[in-house]
A and B are shown apart, each in its own frame.
Chain A
């Protein structure tokens, strides 16, 4: 009535692999039951909203691969190591905040620089929050759990910086109650010209429903554009205006951005296993990159003392595409 089966040294789906599976592989690979190749993803009526959505924007994406589950995060992060990593990083940021607070940092900032912080730094929580939302879309729409995980940690990284920006906003409001810290950010985000490039990019990326296009818009354009403009250009400008605290915090954020770049490049590489994917990826990069370039230019153009950053940021975006194995948008 029952067959006798030999024990296995690991999960049945990993036994073919020669190497002993790592903790990462044991806990991360092949976890989506709704991407197991059935006619509809979910065990509910075929005509349901969610079945339609997932079939249309995930299973019938223009980007195809016959083994999405073979994608691996180059950092091989698991939940346990993510927390160890980020707890350390957060302790570092706590240390910075404590030290600069003791030195009366916020009170020492110049009026001109406080204007910049109000206009260009604290409204950034809206920007980073949109990347939190957009990253979360990839979590439930990617076709393999190893991709979902990368997107999930990226989502959490975004919340990390939304929180730190909020923290700094409260700090600045406390030190400068006569200013509009904590009050004016939404209006600035919605109306100030410096932000409209980012806002347009993010809003459009949020409604790019095809999961692979959403990945291109977010990870190949928006996340690098946020890194280059909001963090890197800001860090340089801050340092030149005696706001070392902000410079160090922005550079800490760039570390998270570097991790995003690593898995994004790995995923593009995975997609390019299938040569026919190249043209579609290129088409999307060409379509989205101009939004990224405009966003960086509109934003960095208004930062003081960094006249070359707008051009340098756009150049960095182009480099990101070529190092991912794609042609640069306007070359």
Chain B
């Protein structure tokens, strides 16, 4: 993985595919890099990575509560911010 990039690590499978697509939609304008490691994929976005519930639901084609992402997310890079509509991975801003 590259320095400065953040984002989730997802267990390979249906949810991983949906999250990759959701990340690409939710982070337009940022380069999204996906590393396939067999049993897991590492999704990397430079600086900040946002995942919205709406996008995951659209990609999965079914209702999805964002906290269900936890079932398939064994790790993540960066800091995390969780709410019901959005999960955000980010680098700390030292002066906020």
Do A and B contact each other directly (Cβ–Cβ < 8 Å)?
A: no
